[in-house]
Amino acid sequence: MATTVAAALAAELGLRTGADLRRAAAGGTGVGADTAAAPGTAGAGLAAPHGAAHDESRTSPAIGPPKTILPVTPDISALLPHGGLATVTAITATRRGATSLLWRLLAGPTAAGAWCALVGLPDRYPLAAEAAGADLGRIAFVSAAGPRIADAAGALAEGVAAMVVPSDGLTPPQARRLTARARKGGTAIIWWETRPVAGPDARLKVTRADWKGLRANTGRLWGSGGLDACELDVTARWRSGGARRARVWPYGGDPAGPATPWSWGECP
């Protein structure tokens, strides 16, 4: 039933689904193919962390290559194990600046023409998404609450290229089933991690958020003035055992430097 609903939705709205975005083995076609050879975009080769293959085989079941790799912005690319948005990613929702990171994560796929959906996440500020580079015309905001979150997410799986879902909206068995469908069908799942989920390919966490443009204001929590830019320090832990960190400017500002590899002992 869910697959039928997703197919009908895709046909009616002309959605570019995960299947449309799959890259062929010999170079790929569709979204992501044109950027495959561009540095810092989806498809650009990233050296695997030393010992990553050994760690993954030891700690988790073998997983085949993703069917879809969605392009992301250069400042996000090196934080992800495949250089682009693929299969399952988690963002630690409780961290200040997490919403800005989410919008920046969606900027690349939507700018490339991919459809994304936010399920059961009310009170998001869409103009911030636009400021971060996301195409609002390619983002569906789906109102759902309680058990309807799992129903809506299941119906949209394989019908959109990427989907953001609050982890506490699904039971652990439901989350596992949705993850399995994502891996099989090529839809990228982004867990808005309000409750820990098992086995994301990458878990992104904002360790520091600094807003530029505010001036100190004695006796008040927030300063005066206008916000010019936001600077985020982001860490990424990969399922394979790798780790990265990068500085991201979701709304403009200084150009972000490349992400750097680091060891588990250095993770904050």
Q: Within 13 Å of residue 102, how many CA atoms lie on the same side as its CB?
A: 30
What is the per-residue pLDDT for 159?
85
Q: What is the pLDDT of residue 202?
A: 95
Helix, coil or strand: residue 199 = coil
The pLDDT assigned to 66 comes to: 67
List per-residue pLDDT tens for the chain, 268 residues long.
444 444 554 454 444 444 444 333 334 433 433 333 233 333 332 223 333 333 333 334 444 566 678 999 999 998 999 899 988 999 999 999 999 999 999 999 999 999 999 999 987 888 889 999 999 999 999 988 988 999 999 988 878 999 999 999 999 999 999 988 888 888 999 999 999 998 899 999 999 998 876 666 666 555 555 666 789 999 999 998 889 999 999 987 665 444 444 443 444 4
Q: What is the pLDDT of residue 100?
A: 94
Are 137 and 115 a contacting pair, CB within 8 Å? no
Residue ranges of domains in the chain, CATH in brackets: 2-45+53-214+229-266 (3.40.50.300)
- pLDDT of res. 2: 43
Strands 202-212 and 188-193: unpaired
pLDDT tens sequence across 28-63: 433 433 333 233 333 332 223 333 333 333 334 444
Q: What is the pLDDT of residue 64?
A: 55
DSSP structure class, residue 241: S
Quickly count: other Cβ atoms within 10 Å of residue 166's Cβ.
19
pTM of the model: 0.71
User: For residue 267, what are its two tokens?
Assistant: 């993770």
**Helix pair angle (148-156, 2-13), 10° resolution:** 60
CB 90 within 8 A of CB 167: yes
What's the confidence (pLDDT) of residue 182? 82
Q: Which among 180, 138, 182, 178 has a CA at the least distance from the CA of 158?
A: 182
**Is-contact 68 86, C-beta < 8 A?**
yes
Confidence at residue 211, expressed as pLDDT on a 0 to 100 scale? 80
Q: 98 near 71, Cβ under 8 Å?
A: no
- Token pair belonging to 210: 């600094």
**CA 12 → CA 7, 8, 9, distances in Å?**
9, 6, 5
**CA distance linking residue 220 with residue 180, whole number of Å:** 48
46 with 57: CB under 8 angstroms? Answer: no
